């Protein structure tokens, strides 16, 4: 197995740094007390100062009036500063011949012209991020190179365009700059500043983007990175201290490669029968547990012109076959009841039909208000949507979410089916997913984890989605999941509402104690990003205020869809490692491959998911002290993330994100479109969002 990193050598990095107390501009870096203790020991005036500032840029020298100390520093002994300096050297090298900027995690990003140029009014660039690192896989310096996808740059300068979009980047002097941060010096050459095309600019300028899709991102990514190394790094002259002599990818040491236990791949179905593949397990064995609710009625919601679609679905759900007379192909699906083990009982003459998309929301509310709902029954609405949920350019895009809210307010869960799917050749692939989701929404359990390793953990998940519609990030919190991976409770709130996270954890604690009859030994939070001390503090304070000394493990789960570290299985022509393989990147850091390639062979025909990057830490206690994560428990937590990725009940295909993060993200994507911006009570205990 090889990784997307190459070796390089560095000359001596001993230099003199002028230090000052103030950070007067963005170019100044900081050094902390524990990194240069000799400076603090020699300067009594620094007793109340925790950090000093300096700059690597000779053009931004600290003047004599500000300077309080000059230190001779060996950057190789301060890894954080060495990394900053190496990044600057790489940035300066490419600035002379390419477009450069910084990616979202602070790595140098180099843009090179693509060999394919499909646009008349835009130039397409490939983007590569370069991250220096030390002793991750070898005993020396390494350069991690990632392909970050492509971007378009307009061929007309911003000086010739009347651009109404407010937020976008531009190319100015080979630099990628926020348009709002252009300097007077930049604008002196306005006729050579070009806009980077984002979604809003593409719509304003009438540039239709052709999204590139490939079945196997591993092959394309590896080939593009190798080409970049060959053309831009290995045969080029580097000034100063950097030396690249070996262009080959670094081989991952065997001791860094792990595999989750085989038992972590097993799912449990009816009569405790196990299977690795959820599709085979559900089809051959049936659900782990049907719904305990015997009073369920289904009804359709659709546009008047789509009544034929409703009739077709009704016939499919009750197992009635169709012939070719009406143009709908014959399908033998078997009945919905036979698969989810629940009678398909409809609300007789209770379907809701609307005349126009323009009036759909108003018509549906009116007809639901007139509809008689029997209190002893649970109702399930099957909404035939005329708008695909991914049609974000449609003026009716929000209708999908509005109808979800209307039904939730009445305590009705729903299943949305795009009107073009029933009767299509591909519907046989959609139907199992519909069945799984419907079963979960009525309280059934499609499958559970066979052998959850961590029996005494309270597991919660926090995911996020930034809504462009309202310009606000919402967090969806799934509180909480049972030991076997089943969903228990959820809520949704804004990202700056840290107290709500602690309040939801308190609720989860009560539910855990009620169900398990004991306190958890540990709290495990699956978080969508690195949790800061500020975010962890309300949670820890809540526990200690109740006299609970329970360690809080934070498992950060990051998607690596376009960047970050990758690894390639060179023994497999598709290059993707077997599902459940993970690579140890450093203390508490792992790269986990979550996919449906379960066997070591070349017959794989599924999706090529990129891996997850996982970081495991313990939140500081009330006194600010941190505890160390044990190695054995860290590996158990990696296996737990893998297991929870197999508990996705929206599809019979395994996802690469665990439901602890995926479910909250899905919910947070919908909530911003609700009129109330809050989750109705019924929605906190039902999987309405899958």
Q: What are phi and psi of 628, to 5 degrees?
A: -90, 140
Residue 259 in any domain: the answer is no
Query: Both 534 and 641 in a single domain?
Result: yes
3-state secondary structure of 281: helix
3-state DSSP of 375-443: CCCEEEEEEEECCCCCCCCCCCCCHHHHHHHHHHHCCCEEEEEECCCCCCCCHHHHHHHHHHHHHHHCC
Query: Both 370 and 474 in a single domain?
Result: no
Query: Both 420 and 561 in a single domain?
Result: no
Among candidate residues 168, 131, 157, 158, the one with its CA nearest the CA of residue 146: 131
pLDDT score, position 325: 42
Query: Both 420 and 491 in a single domain?
Result: no
Residue 264 in any domain: the answer is no
Question: Residue 324 belongs to what domain range?
Answer: 290-441
* Residue labelled with tokens 């990202």: 495
**Residues ≥6 apart with Cβ < 8 Å to 200:** 165, 167, 168
Query: Both 500 and 397 in a single domain?
Result: no
Residue 394 in any domain: the answer is yes
Backbone Cα Rg of the chain: 28
Of 422, 441, 460, the residue at which a domain comes to its end is 441
Query: Which long-range CB contacts under 8 A does 47-51 form with residues at least 24 apart?
Result: 49/21
pLDDT score, position 441: 96
How far apart CA 278 and CA 265 sit, in angstroms, is 10
Query: Both 474 and 415 in a single domain?
Result: no
Show the CA angle centred on residue 411, arms to residues 314 and 367, nearest 5°: 65
Residue 526 in any domain: the answer is yes
Of 441, 460, 494, the residue at which a domain comes to its end is 441
pLDDT score, position 487: 86
HSE-up (13 A, CA, CB side) for residue 9: 6
Residue 202 in any domain: the answer is no
Q: What is the CATH number of the domain that holds 530?
A: 3.30.420.10
Residue 57 in any domain: the answer is yes
Residue 556 in any domain: the answer is yes
Query: Both 480 and 525 in a single domain?
Result: yes
Show the CA angle centred on residue 576, arms to residues 461 and 216, nearest 5°: 95
Query: Both 316 and 462 in a single domain?
Result: no
- In DSSP terms, 268 is beta-bridged to 274, 448
pLDDT score, position 453: 63
Give the other-Cβ count within 10 Å of 5's Cβ: 24
3-state DSSP of 30-95: EEECCCCHHHHHHCHHHCCCCEEEECCCHHHCCCCCCCCEEEEEEHHHCHHHHHHHHHHHHHHHHH
pLDDT less than 50: residues of the chain? 322-332
Give the other-Cβ count within 10 Å of 25's Cβ: 10
Query: Both 425 and 489 in a single domain?
Result: no
Q: What is the CATH number of the domain that holds 381?
A: 3.40.50.2300
* Residue labelled with tokens 């206690």: 621
How far apart CA 248 and CA 511 sit, in angstroms, is 53
Query: Both 435 and 453 in a single domain?
Result: no
How far apart CA 316 and CA 605 sit, in angstroms, is 28
pLDDT score, position 471: 65
Residue 140 in any domain: the answer is no
C-alpha dist (Å) from residue 282 to 270, 604, 660: 8, 21, 22
Of 390, 410, 441, the residue at which a domain comes to its end is 441
Among candidate residues 238, 663, 212, the one with its CA nearest the CA of residue 463: 663
* Residue labelled with tokens 């077997």: 578
Query: Both 513 and 626 in a single domain?
Result: yes
Peptide bond just before 480 cis, omega within 30 deg: yes
How far apart CA 177 and CA 153 sit, in angstroms, is 13
Structure tokens at 677: 């911006």
Furthest-apart CA atoms within the chain: distance in Å: 93
How far apart CA 688 and CA 690 sit, in angstroms, is 6
Predicted model pTM: 0.87
How far apart CA 658 and CA 557 sit, in angstroms, is 9
pLDDT score, position 679: 83
Count of structural domains, the chain = 3
**Residues ≥6 apart with Cβ < 8 Å to 218:** 566, 568, 574, 575, 576, 608, 610
Query: Both 419 and 478 in a single domain?
Result: no
Structure tokens at 91: 């940035």
């Amino acid at each position: 197995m090889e990784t997307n990193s190459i070796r390089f050598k560095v000359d001596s990095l001993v230099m003199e740094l002028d230090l000052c107390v103030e950070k007067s501009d963005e170019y100044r870096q900081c050094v902390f007390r524990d990194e240069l203790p000799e400076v603090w020991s020699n300067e009594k005036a620094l007793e109340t100062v925790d950090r000093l500032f300096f700059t690597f840029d000779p053009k931004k020298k600290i003047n004599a009036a500000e300077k309080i100390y000059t230190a001779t520093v060996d950057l190789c002994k301060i890894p954080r500063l060495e990394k900053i300096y190496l990044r600057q050297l790489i940035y300066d090298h490419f600035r002379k011949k390419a477009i450069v900027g910084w990616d979202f995690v602070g790595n140098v990003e180099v843009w090179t012209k693509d060999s394919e140029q499909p646009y008349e009014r835009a130039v397409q660039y490939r983007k590569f991020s370069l991250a220096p690192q030390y002793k991750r896989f070898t005993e020396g310096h390494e350069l991690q190179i990632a392909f970050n996808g492509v971007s378009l740059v307009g061929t007309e300068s911003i000086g010739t365009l009347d651009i109404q979009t407010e937020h976008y980047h531009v190319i100015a002097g080979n630099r990628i700059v926020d348009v709002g941060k252009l300097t007077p010096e930049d604008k002196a050459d306005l006729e050579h500043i070009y806009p980077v095309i984002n979604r809003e600019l593409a719509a304003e300028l009438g540039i239709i983007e052709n999204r590139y899709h490939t079945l196997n991102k591993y092959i394309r990514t590896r080939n593009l990175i190798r080409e970049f190394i060959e053309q831009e790094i290995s045969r080029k002259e580097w000034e100063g201290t950097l030396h690249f002599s070996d262009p080959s990818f670094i081989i991952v040491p065997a001791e860094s490669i792990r595999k989750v236990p085989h038992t972590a791949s097993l799912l449990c179905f009816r009569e405790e029968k196990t299977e690795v593949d959820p599709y085979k397990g559900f089809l051959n064995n049936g659900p782990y547990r049907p719904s305990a609710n015997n009073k369920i009625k289904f009804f359709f919601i659709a546009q008047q012109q789509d009544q034929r679609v409703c009739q077709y679905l009704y016939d499919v759900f009750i197992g009635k076959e169709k012939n070719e007379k009406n143009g709908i192909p014959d399908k033998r699906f078997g009945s919905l009841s036979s698969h989810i083990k629940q009678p398909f009982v409809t609300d007789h003459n209770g379907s809701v039909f609307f005349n126009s998309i323009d009036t759909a929301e108003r018509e549906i509310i009116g007809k639901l208000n007139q509809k008689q709902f029997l209190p002893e029954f649970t109702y399930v609405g099957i909404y035939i949507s005329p708008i695909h949920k991914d049609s974000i350019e449609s003026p009716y895009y929000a209708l999908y979410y509005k109808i979800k809210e209307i039904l939730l307010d009445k305590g009705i869960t729903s299943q949305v089916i795009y009107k073009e799917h029933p009767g299509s050749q591909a519907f046989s692939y959609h139907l199992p997913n519909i069945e799984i989701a419907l079963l979960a929404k009525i309280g059934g359990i499609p499958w559970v984890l066979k052998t959850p390793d961590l029996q005494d953990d309270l597991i919660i998940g926090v995911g996020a989605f930034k809504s462009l519609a309202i310009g606000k990030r919402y967090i969806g919190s799934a509180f909480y999941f049972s030991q076997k991976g089943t969903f228990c409770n959820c809520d949704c709130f804004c990202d700056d509402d840290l107290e709500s996270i602690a309040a939801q954890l308190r609720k989860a604690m009560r539910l855990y104690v009620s169900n398990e009859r004991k306190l958890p030994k540990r709290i495990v939070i699956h978080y969508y990003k690195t949790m800061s001390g500020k975010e962890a503090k309300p949670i820890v304070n809540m526990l200690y205020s109740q006299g609970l000394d329970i360690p809080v493990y934070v498992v950060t789960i990051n998607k690596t869809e376009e960047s970050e570290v990758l690894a390639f299985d060179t023994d497999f022509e598709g290059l993707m490692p077997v599902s459940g393989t993970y690579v140890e990147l450093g203390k508490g850091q792992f790269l986990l491959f979550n996919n449906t390639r379960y066997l070591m062979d070349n017959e794989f025909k599924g999706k090529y998911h990129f891996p997850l990057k996982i970081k495991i830490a313990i939140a500081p206690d009330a006194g600010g002290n941190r505890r160390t994560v044990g190695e054995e428990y860290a590996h158990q937590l990696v296996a737990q993330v893998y297991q929870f990725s197999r508990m996705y009940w929206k599809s019979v295909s395994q996802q690469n994100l665990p439901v602890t993060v995926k479910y909250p993200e899905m919910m947070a994507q919908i909530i911003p479109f609700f009129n109330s911006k809050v989750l109705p009570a019924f929605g906190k205990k039902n999987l309405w969002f899958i």
